[in-house]
Structure 1
């Protein structure tokens, strides 16, 4: 077992934020429809899970606003994120079992890192809303890197920030793009069933799926990966 108070720099837990730490994707859907509706795009949750969630704002803007100049695309995406933040302020709740898992990591001095394609303002709002900002040793933002998810670079940066190696770390994700990024970085990945069903998450590359962080399979994986010899 890991010793309390000893920093285990080879191990880490890495979390996506939206749809993983908290089920915020219905709020994103509402914001997308409010801002993208005038441009002829209307999304239901299934379409959003297929075409939007987990992707970088740059790639979304390029696909759905191809006739807008880059500066206008960026402004439209910024408007969407502002609408999302207004909806999410004070309205986010952690997925079941999250706090206990973070407590377990803290007790073992295992670094915890957030890895997201969301803008930093969104990430900070959600972490602050959940009152877990101080739990994370780093917050990696895909749009601040040369490549966001589904490229593995955000997770490679997360591992670097934690001083961790892939085979002693676990990623938690809810989107196809996120799972693709995490598995390409060599991480065993848990697919959280907030938007996609079990089969879709497994097809994307998740090793197992869960609706909560305290499900037996998740706890067994944590024990085997982080606490095994």
Structure 2
């Protein structure tokens, strides 16, 4: 959830002017985990996975959520990785039609653009998921850079993805 804290402009904003905004994608700009779960549950049941018994949230959390496509394919179809990868691709097509942005995202992105702020997407989602979600949310041309956690030395919660984003956009970090 994105929240806004209003402060007196003369407080720290005058000392440290806002130059850049870093955005997470899955779970922040779009509450995607519930959507991922429903899509996986429906599509897997249709394949006869687990004898046609729908997966539950525990299975999803332990074996699918936050995992890379290759790892998901291996868990779901260990004897037929190609089938698993085809399945994951099909899931992405369905997911792209079901995803929705959080309330206020359009207003926020317009404000960021109107103020000429630098911006980057910083996510632990696998690159294919990020590349699906960004256009689905209408943000194809919004971000200056995309930072993928597993492409950094250490993914979030380590600071590496954020620090890499700041280097790329030549921004400064003010943290409290």
Matches within 5 A, 1:151-166: 151-166=158-173
Matched, 1:28 2:36: yes
Matched, 1:43 2:56: yes
Matched, 1:98 2:139: no
Cα-to-partner distance string for 1:114-169 (whole Å, 9 max, x where unaligned): 111222222122211222111111111122223222322112112222222221xx
Q: Report the count of equivalent residues.
A: 154
- Deviation, 1:82, is 2.1
Give the Cα separation in 2 of the matches to 1:41 and 1:150. 32
Task: Using structure 1 for the length normalisation, give the TM-score.
Answer: 0.52
What's the counterpart of residue 6 of structure 2?
A: none
- Deviation, 1:107, is 1.0
Gaps of 5+ in 1: 2-7, 168-186, 189-229
Gaps of 5+ in 2: 1-8, 10-15
Task: Using structure 2 for the length normalisation, give the TM-score.
Answer: 0.65
Higher Rg of the two aligned structures: 2
Give the Cα separation in 2 of the matches to 1:21 and 1:99. 10
Give the Cα separation in 1 of the matches to 2:156 and 2:38. 22
Structural RMSD (CA): 3.8
Judged with a 3 Å threshold, the aligned counterparts in structure 2 of structure 1 residues 112 and 42 are, in CA distance, closer, same or farther, namely same
